[in-house]
Structure 1
Amino acid sequence: MPAPEPTPPQSSLPEAASRFGAHVLADAAARACDVAAATGGPPRVPSLPGPPGAPGAPETAAPTAAALTAAVPTVTVPAAASPDTAPAGGLALAEAPLPAVLPALPTVLPAVDLARILRGPSGIGTAALRLAPQEEPPARSGAAEAAEGRPIPGLYHHPVPEPDPVRVEEIGRRIKSWALDEVELYPDDWEDQFDGFSVGRYMVGCHPDAPSIDHLMVAARLMVAENAVDDYYCEDHGGSPVGLGERLLLAHTALDPLHTTKEYEPPWARSLHSDAPRRAYRSAMEYFVQLSSASQADRFRHDMARLHLGYLAEAAWAQEDRVPEVWEYLAMRQFNNFRPCPTITDTVGGYELPADLHAQPAMQRVIAFAGNASTIVNDLYSYTKELAAPGKHLNLPVVLAEREDLSERDAYLKAVEVHNDLMHAFEAEAAALAADCPVPSVQRFLRGVAVWVDGNHHWHQTNTFRYSLPDFW
């Protein structure tokens, strides 16, 4: 009797889309949460050093996509609106009535943000990710371009509108208060560097669909905490590859708490206050779990473990004084990259991409391309800054120059090509997934990641306090 032929491999996406699409659409009202209750005020950070997610800490599931993404809201914002106060009747759906839970949203999208969401990505093959055809923002004048930085010539990107200035200012005020007063993250003489980072412009530009300032602050705290770990542990502000694994592991327990005996839990809990990165991680995670579901929180912990693994690979090369092969460097950059930021786009947007849909190989591929392209943007814009810093900093142009025997200029220009290839792959994969899996939460998540990618480029381009371009053109 002949052996049976193996079953041809089949994609699980259609089945997953059908199963979870029906679930999301049928149970949207039941699973939607009261957003006002979730964002009524900042959480209290206990004085005792307890672990994040400790028993009794509130953990609120975010509303599902069908409640928030059946259509994009149209917005009416009074000129004097406070960043934390929504005008009565300020939200309305274009094609369907809002669920009763949504009028209580504490903050609404400014009109400029609505235009950005409607525009979506605009590259080849991205029509499925756009809600409506929109014109690109008008070209800037030469003076404005000089003041705000210019994009890298030849870099594939999408221009975006300026982030809402009211939200930018409010996020900037709150995140500075959190960093300096609440977690004592930086010494006073770093204040100019903190201001120059422009956290408000970064977060508002990357998350224009966030329903409230509190949602944006979740992203802002995590971003600042991640940068503090990089600064203190890895880079020039006291960082070193020696002993990095121990520091990262202990800091990671501020995100993924230690479960141990009663005898050894108190010294661990006290350790969460022992340095600035752990204080920041612990506090940022406490705020995050109050707006995220358990699944979203676990997804973020996983992504942060990926990030820390990438830090360790780069540290190993520094200790060995070795420049990796180009493919090895790109493998490291898939871990040491921005991935934790765009993958919380649903939490920041006030909805949830179900875990099984997030875990689909096609979705993971889209997220990987988005993170990889966004991280090469950082390599390119920070190139001159890193060359001027002490020591040898690895970035894609440096690795290309070393491993492929290219001039600095040719290596930089080839790195631009690598970025462009990654961006085209991201947009093609995202468009294909959007067509294959027409679930509202999937559609909104893909748009959110695309908007994050665009916002990340915009922040790098316009942050002339931190970045300047090499003279290669």
Structure 2
Amino acid sequence: MRAAPHLAAPSDVDDLSALAAAVLADTANAPPPDLSQLVDGANPRRAASTVRRFASGVGTSALRFPAQATGEVPALGGGTTGRIPGGPAGLGTSGWRVAPSPSPGPSSSADDDAMPELFCPGAVRDNPALGKEVDERLLEWAEEVGIYPGNLDRLRAAGFGRLIMLAHPGTDDPDRLLAAAKCVVAEWAADDYYVDEVELGADPRIVGSRLAKLHAVVDPAQLPAKYAPQLDEYREAEPIATAFRSAMEHLARYTSAAQMGRFQHQMAILYVAWNQEADWHSNGRVPPVWEYLVQRHLNSYLPPMILIDVVSGYELSAHEFYHPRVRRAITLAGDANVLINDLYSGANESDTDFNLPSVLVAEEGLTRREAIKRTVEIHNELMHEFVAEAAALSVAGSPALRRFLAETWAWMGGSREWHATTRRYHEGGSE
């Protein structure tokens, strides 16, 4: 795989919003949206060596899955194509191969001021009519449950139905897409109303209490009979709690118990992250870069991303989903993709909000432009590590895992396209 080329800096380097937009919107030389093209085993011996190399080290001695979970995996050699017999015929699964995914080397001194190109694919598909249908249904639901009262135009402009259409090309069923979109909007509303936006009622002093009660809806609390009606009253009276209850009822039409359980677990992790951010706000503290990255690891895009198989209509087994190496791969993807949000949303946030560029400026004394460049570099490092893990796991895992990894890659491409076009961050962007 060739090294990523560099983008020329815009003429007005002080226009940081334009700079971030240029970095994320230019997909002319983006990696292919089909992940199999990045794990192509043109050299089977080198491919096998690569898998062994990535499958070694601390905590990796057991990178094996039970035979009944993996299916038959042919040897990489002797003229075989490396295809998986009986594998899925869906998105990104037609040509799984394995090859090295080198990390980008250090730039030369001549390139030190160049803005690196984002290592992230573009969208696999863009179906505006389908996105609009999901958005219209989403707006009807938001009005029904009572979130964003008086701000439905803002919700329409964000185009969250379009985001889910772009991020889940494995289905064109609007009801499955709507189930995921409801969860995303409920999450975004909780972030807006509870954590980020003071004008909407966010208050860091009560974030913990609000999120604890909300999680009693996400992972339903079982109270004694005398007190259960009060929890029920809260579920009905608090619009964001109502939104989560309704969204998860819709999601339950398509999930197994294990898939719902993993979503509930990931939401608990997200709430921990929001409490951490509230601590920074309450104490007027700017976190060091490493601590901010820990928070972003917890507050990543995993809650919507782990619904990939739910939306597409299959199930990645709990055994594989929670395997340490699989967990590492998908968290790398979630961590990387949320940094795209950091790049785009910075220009739209208040001075008291946190994003990776602003934390880099505060701790390392970088200019804003240098901080954007460093954010892109960190994003790219995480993405290259994801591809390396996908190469190893594509040999060791099941056809369902290969599909899940391919659709994770596609999810990131759809997310990039949405961030590049949504009117939440851009005047005149797509709905």
Distance 2:71 2:392 in 1: 20
Deviations 1:46-95 (A, max 9, x none): xxxxxxxxxxxxxxxxxxxx9x96312xxxxxxxxxxxxxxxxxxxxxxx
Matched, 1:234 2:284: no
Q: 1:405 aligns with which of 348, 365, 380?
A: 365
Q: Aligned pair in 2 of structure 1 residues 272, 424: CA closer, same or farther (>3 Å)?
A: same
Asked whether the equivalents of residues 125 and 169 of structure 2 are also in contact (C-alpha less than 8 Å), the reply is no
User: What amino acid sits opposite 2:361 in the alignment?
Assistant: A
User: What amino acid sits opposite 2:366 in the alignment?
Assistant: L
Q: Aligned pair in 2 of structure 1 residues 209, 9: CA closer, same or farther (>3 Å)?
A: closer
How is 1:198-209 mapped onto 2 (pairs within 5 angstroms)? 198-209=159-170
Matching residue of 1:13? 63
How is 1:254-273 mapped onto 2 (pairs within 5 angstroms)? 254-273=217-236
Deviations 1:172-201 (A, max 9, x none): 111111111x2121213x122111111121
Deviation at 1:436, TM superposition (A): 2.2
Distance 2:95 2:368 in 1: 34
Matching residue of 1:194? 155
Matching residue of 2:89? 71
Distance 1:9 1:224 in 2: 36
Deviation at 1:273, TM superposition (A): 1.5
Q: What number of residue pairs does the alignment pair up?
A: 344
Q: 2:412 aligns with which of 453, 458, 465?
A: 453
User: What amino acid sits opposite 1:444 in the alignment?
Assistant: R
Matching residue of 1:184? 146
Deviation at 1:272, TM superposition (A): 0.5
Matching residue of 2:80? none
Q: Aligned pair in 2 of structure 1 residues 123, 459: CA closer, same or farther (>3 Å)?
A: farther
Distance 1:274 1:335 in 2: 29
Asked whether the equivalents of residues 185 and 276 of structure 1 are also in contact (C-alpha less than 8 Å), the reply is yes
Distance 2:269 2:252 in 1: 19
Asked whether the equivalents of residues 21 and 440 of structure 1 are also in contact (C-alpha less than 8 Å), the reply is yes
Distance 1:13 1:124 in 2: 17
Deviations 1:359-403 (A, max 9, x none): 1000000011011001111000111111xx3x4111100111111
Q: 2:118 aligns with which of 145, 155, 168?
A: 155
Matching residue of 2:5? none
How is 1:288-327 mapped onto 2 (pairs within 5 angstroms)? 288-327=251-290
More RCO (CA 8 Å, sep 6+): 2
Deviation at 1:120, TM superposition (A): 9.5
Q: Aligned pair in 2 of structure 1 residues 186, 261: CA closer, same or farther (>3 Å)?
A: same
Asked whether the equivalents of residues 211 and 350 of structure 1 are also in contact (C-alpha less than 8 Å), the reply is no
RMSD of aligned C-alpha atoms? 2.6
Asked whether the equivalents of residues 236 and 242 of structure 2 are also in contact (C-alpha less than 8 Å), the reply is yes
Deviation at 1:423, TM superposition (A): 1.1
How is 1:243-282 mapped onto 2 (pairs within 5 angstroms)? 243-282=206-245
Distance 1:410 1:250 in 2: 41
User: What amino acid sits opposite 1:297 in the alignment?
Assistant: M
Tell me, which stretches of 5 or more residues in structure 2 are unaligned?
A: 1-57, 73-83, 103-114
Tell me, which stretches of 5 or more residues in structure 1 are unaligned?
A: 1-7, 24-65, 73-113, 128-151, 469-473
TM-score scaled to structure 1, two decimals?
A: 0.68
Asked whether the equivalents of residues 123 and 427 of structure 1 are also in contact (C-alpha less than 8 Å), the reply is no
Distance 1:336 1:177 in 2: 28
The secondary structure found in structure 1 opposite 2:303 is coil
How is 1:307-456 mapped onto 2 (pairs within 5 angstroms)? 307-386=270-349, 389=350, 391-437=351-397, 439-456=398-415
Q: Aligned pair in 2 of structure 1 residues 384, 350: CA closer, same or farther (>3 Å)?
A: same
Distance 1:196 1:461 in 2: 13
Distance 1:316 1:377 in 2: 24
Distance 1:118 1:163 in 2: 19
User: What amino acid sits opposite 1:228 in the alignment?
Assistant: A
Deviation at 1:351, TM superposition (A): 0.7
Deviation at 1:9, TM superposition (A): 7.1
Q: Aligned pair in 2 of structure 1 residues 214, 125: CA closer, same or farther (>3 Å)?
A: farther
TM-score scaled to structure 2, two decimals?
A: 0.75
Deviations 1:89-131 (A, max 9, x none): xxxxxxxxxxxxxxxxxxxxxxxxx6xx47999998479xxxx
User: What amino acid sits opposite 1:426 in the alignment?
Assistant: F
Distance 2:336 2:373 in 1: 15
Q: Aligned pair in 2 of structure 1 residues 442, 398: CA closer, same or farther (>3 Å)?
A: same
Deviation at 1:283, TM superposition (A): 0.5
Distance 1:414 1:122 in 2: 31
Deviation at 1:12, TM superposition (A): 2.8
Q: Aligned pair in 2 of structure 1 residues 231, 400: CA closer, same or farther (>3 Å)?
A: same
Q: 2:177 aligns with which of 202, 216, 221?
A: 216
Deviation at 1:160, TM superposition (A): 2.5
Matching residue of 2:28? none
Distance 1:162 1:362 in 2: 29
